[in-house]
């Protein structure tokens, strides 16, 4: 116990106009948080102020981050402000680290009123990189739009924040620390916890760890390669897959969290997970996986680098969902995908007679369906997949789901995927990212594009490229009515759907920290031609997408920054 009560101060401040949270919280360059006076303090106070005082007083909250640069000083500020704002207990990951899925797990386990996650996910770290703050609510999932809008409004009018500047927490020592504050009847408690254990316990109750251990370290075990990309999931991989399930220690690489992710872009993508991609080429490993900075996304590769697209990733899990013991017990309530994700999952849903929901991008939409008991498995094209065990996408859960399928079927990754295509046909899918585009140019282009495609004359138009002809069947700006609570979300992406089911989607991404990212998604289904090259198969639709949008002309870009 600290000697003498600690002083609580009210500090005058001035608002900033740019603290609107995106689908993944507030993300900015590190220097914005470092150089703009009280920038972090303003946003944290706005989060606390968005919670009604009676709910906040004496409550429990969870705090953790992916370990990127500025994580530790941000945790210290949050602790000081939580104490001053009446929070009774903070649960914080050891050294301030905790993966996003684990934070969701801990919020739910301890019935906390919410959690503050310090991450910019797959964005670069270090002093010149990105930093982010995200608020998750009591269900363990990202705050809904009503909450983030309230936080934004508070941030625009904030005049002061409360802080206890003399409070110093020891993030290195596990256990409870208590602090007396002036004018507070009960002491403020900080509990530093093992960030892995609660989450590992949850996974033990979902998967058959004995069967997975046999697959990974038994007599006829497979060889795997795991790349944590110097993100927060490294200790989870070591503890769960190596120590508990028996993978050799040298099968897990880049497992020490680093403030700059070792100079890497912590994105589980063929372009960025180069250590994994290179090590998989020669056929030494049967299974490979890479994880992003905060542990909520993952990519898997089969032998010789066979790539599983995110859309196939979730569709294959859906088709083999009872390989996971958890779903044998709970049954399956529904499947869901984000609107830009390919329709591969829809085909499984139809065949299994399980309800399929198409939502806007953002995990909060999935969480709402889960809370209503309508959804069990979901995924999105940006390498995010998850179940209803928590309210976040979950990279390690997704990898264990795939390993459970391999354990049950005793087939290779490539065999599993190819048999899926033989059964259902194949959705060829790609995404083009045009990053750091001028915001005004991007918005103007999207506005003009919406006017063009929503004109009645656009429907039935035919576009010919080489020997392919595509006729427009439907075009709109995607609007979603939540079946759980009837809330309506408008302007969620421009869609062009052709008579053969092919789709072109245009969106402005909300997960960057600088400029705009224009994303074009192309999805086309083939029943018979299942072994062709994706970019070759989609080239005609890509030509049409660029012609309709005039993207290169409107943005000054000659090509995409990234192709998925």
Residue 517: inside a domain, yes or no?
Answer: yes
Sheet holding 298-302, edge to edge: 252-253, 224-227, 287-291, 298-302
d(Cα 85, Cα 46) in Å, to the nearest integer? 11
Is residue 465 within 8 A of residue 548, CB to CB? The reply is no
Q: Beta strand pairing status for 89-97 and 503-509?
A: unpaired
DSSP string, 287-356: EEEEE-TTSS-EEEEEGGG-B--HHHHHHHHHHTGGGSHHHHHH----EEEETTS-THHHHHHHHHT--E
Same domain, 443 and 475: yes
Is residue 461 within 8 A of residue 454, CB to CB? The reply is no
Helix (H, G, I), strand (E, B) or coil at 246: coil
What is the predicted pLDDT for the residue at 206? 98
Rg (CA), the chain: 24
Same domain, 163 and 214: no
Q: Torsions phi, psi of 91, nearest 5?
A: -105, 120
Q: Torsions phi, psi of 146, nearest 5?
A: -60, -35
Q: Give the residue from 364, 326, 293 showing the smallest Cα distance to 148.
A: 364
Q: Beta strand pairing status for 114-118 and 188-193?
A: unpaired
| Alpha helices by DSSP H, 429-550 | 439-454, 534-549
Catalytic residue positions? 121
Helix (H, G, I), strand (E, B) or coil at 494: strand
Is residue 302 within 8 A of residue 283, CB to CB? The reply is no
What are the respective helix, strand and coil percentages of the chain, to the nearest 5? 35, 25, 40
Instruction: Return the exposure string of 164-192: e unless at least 16 CB atoms fall within 10 Å of the residue's CB, then b.
Output: beebebebeeeeebebebeebeebbbbbb
Residue 4: inside a domain, yes or no?
Answer: no
Extract the tokens encoding 539.
Answer: 């080239």
Residue 59: inside a domain, yes or no?
Answer: yes
What is the predicted pLDDT for the residue at 2? 44
What is the predicted pLDDT for the residue at 210? 98
Q: Any residues with CB less than 8 A from the CB of 353 and at least 6 apart, and which?
A: none
What is the predicted pLDDT for the residue at 514? 63
Considering 397, 424, 451, which residue would you say is the last residue of a domain?
424
Half-sphere exposure of 559 (CA within 13 A, CB side): 2
Q: Which run of H or of E encompasses 435? A: strand 426-437
d(Cα 38, Cα 507) in Å, to the nearest integer? 32
Same domain, 219 and 141: no
Length of the chain: 564
Residue 136: inside a domain, yes or no?
Answer: yes
What is the predicted pLDDT for the residue at 434? 87
Same domain, 417 and 268: yes
Residue 132: inside a domain, yes or no?
Answer: yes
Give the model confidence (pLDDT) of 194-252 as tens digits: 999 999 999 999 999 999 999 999 999 999 999 999 999 999 999 999 999 999 999 99
Bridge partners of residue 25, in order along the sequence: 22
Is residue 134 within 8 A of residue 25, CB to CB? The reply is yes
Residue 2: inside a domain, yes or no?
Answer: no
Residue 3: inside a domain, yes or no?
Answer: no
**Nearest 5 degrees, angle CA 444-CA 449-CA 450?**
100
Same domain, 183 and 209: no
Helix (H, G, I), strand (E, B) or coil at 516: strand
DSSP tag of 526: E
Same domain, 368 and 400: yes
Residue 1: inside a domain, yes or no?
Answer: no
Q: Torsions phi, psi of 102, nearest 5?
A: -65, -35
Same domain, 218 and 340: yes
* Ranges of residues in the chain whose predicted pLDDT is under 50: 1-2
d(Cα 481, Cα 469) in Å, to the nearest integer? 33
Q: Which run of H or of E encompasses 203? A: helix 197-204
Q: In CATH, what number is assigned to the domain containing residue 501?
A: 3.30.310.50
d(Cα 85, Cα 162) in Å, to the nearest integer? 6
Same domain, 237 and 357: yes
What is the predicted pLDDT for the residue at 83? 97
Q: Where are the beta strands (DSSP E) in 13-106?
A: 26-29, 60-65, 89-97
What is the predicted pLDDT for the residue at 552? 87
Same domain, 415 and 319: yes
CA dihedral 209→210→215→219, nearest 10 degrees, is 150
d(Cα 564, Cα 561) in Å, to the nearest integer? 10
What is the predicted pLDDT for the residue at 311? 94
CB count in 10 Å sphere of residue 55: 12
What is the predicted pLDDT for the residue at 139? 97
Q: Distances from the Cα of 135 to the Cαs of 87, 105, 118, in angstroms?
A: 15, 14, 9
Q: Beta strand pairing status for 89-97 and 188-193?
A: parallel
Considering 424, 444, 459, which residue would you say is the last residue of a domain?
424
pTM of the complete model: 0.95
Same domain, 190 and 206: no
Same domain, 180 and 264: no
Q: Which run of H or of E encompasses 508? A: strand 503-509
What is the predicted pLDDT for the residue at 439? 87
Total number of domains in the chain: 3
Same domain, 167 and 284: no
What is the predicted pLDDT for the residue at 513? 53
Helix (H, G, I), strand (E, B) or coil at 556: coil
CA dihedral 455→459→461→462, nearest 10 degrees, is 140
Domain extent at residue 257: 199-424
Q: Which run of H or of E encompasses 76? A: helix 71-84
Q: In CATH, what number is assigned to the domain containing residue 266?
A: 3.40.120.10
Considering 424, 454, 473, which residue would you say is the last residue of a domain?
424
């Amino acid at each position: 116990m600290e000697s003498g009560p600690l002083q609580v101060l009210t500090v005058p401040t001035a608002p900033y106009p740019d603290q609107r949270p995106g689908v993944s919280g507030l993300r900015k360059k590190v220097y914005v948080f470092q150089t703009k006076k009280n920038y972090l303090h303003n946003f944290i106070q706005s989060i606390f102020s968005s919670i009604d005082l009676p709910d906040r007083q004496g409550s429990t909250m969870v705090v953790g981050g992916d370990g990127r640069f500025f994580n530790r000083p941000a945790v210290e500020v949050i602790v000081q402000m939580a104490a001053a704002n009446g929070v009774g207990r903070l649960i914080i990951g050891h050294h301030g680290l905790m993966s996003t899925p684990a934070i969701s797990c801990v919020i739910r386990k301890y019935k906390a009123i919410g959690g503050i996650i310090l991450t910019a996910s797959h964005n670069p770290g270090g002093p010149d990189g990105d930093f982010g703050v995200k608020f998750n609510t009591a269900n363990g999932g990202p705050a809904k739009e009503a909450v983030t809008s309230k936080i934004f409004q508070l941030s625009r009018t904030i005049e002061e924040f409360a802080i206890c500047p003399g409070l110093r927490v020891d993030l290195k020592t596990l256990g409870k620390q208590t602090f007396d504050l002036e004018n507070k009847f009960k002491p403020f408690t900080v509990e530093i916890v093992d960030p892995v254990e609660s989450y590992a316990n949850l996974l033990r109750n979902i998967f058959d760890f004995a069967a997975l251990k046999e697959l990974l370290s038994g007599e006829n075990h497979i060889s795997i390669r795991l790349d944590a990309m110097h993100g927060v999931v490294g200790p989870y991989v070591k503890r769960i897959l190596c120590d508990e399930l028996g993978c050799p220690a040298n099968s897990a690489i880049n497992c020490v969290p680093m403030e700059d992710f070792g100079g890497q872009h912590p994105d589980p993508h063929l372009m960025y997970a180069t250590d994994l991609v290179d090590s998989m080429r020669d056929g030494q490993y049967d299974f490979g996986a890479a994880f992003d900075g905060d542990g909520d996304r993952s990519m898997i590769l089969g032998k010789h680098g066979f790539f599983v697209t995110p859309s196939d990733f979730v569709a294959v899990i859906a088709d083999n969902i009872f390989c996971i013991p958890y779903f044998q017990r709970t049954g399956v309530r529904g499947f869901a995908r984000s609107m830009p994700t390919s329709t591969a999952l829809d085909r499984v849903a139809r065949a299994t007679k399980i309800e399929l929901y198409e939502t806007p991008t953002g995990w909060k939409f999935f969480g709402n369906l889960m809370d209503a008991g309508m959804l069990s498995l979901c995924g999105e094209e940006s390498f995010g997949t998850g179940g209803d065990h928590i309210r976040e996408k979950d990279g390690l859960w997704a990898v264990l789901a795939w390993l459970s399928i391999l354990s049950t079927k005793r087939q290779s990754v490539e065999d599993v995927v190819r048999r899926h295509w033989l059964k259902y046909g194949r959705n060829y899918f790609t995404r083009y990212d045009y990053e750091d585009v001028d915001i005004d140019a991007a918005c103007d282009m999207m506005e003009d594009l919406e006017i063009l495609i929503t004109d009645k004359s656009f429907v039935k138009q035919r576009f010919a490229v080489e020997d392919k002809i595509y006729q427009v069947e439907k075009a709109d700006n995607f609007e979603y009515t939540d079946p759980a609570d009837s809330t309506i979300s408008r302007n969620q992406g421009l869609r062009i759907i052709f008579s053969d089911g092919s789709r072109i989607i245009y969106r402005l991404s909300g997960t960057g920290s600088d400029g705009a990212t224009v994303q074009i998604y192309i999805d086309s289904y083939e029943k018979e031609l299942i072994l062709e090259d994706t970019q070759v198969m989609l080239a005609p639709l890509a030509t049409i997408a660029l012609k309709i949008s005039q993207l290169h002309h409107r943005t000054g870009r000659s090509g995409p920054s990234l192709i998925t």
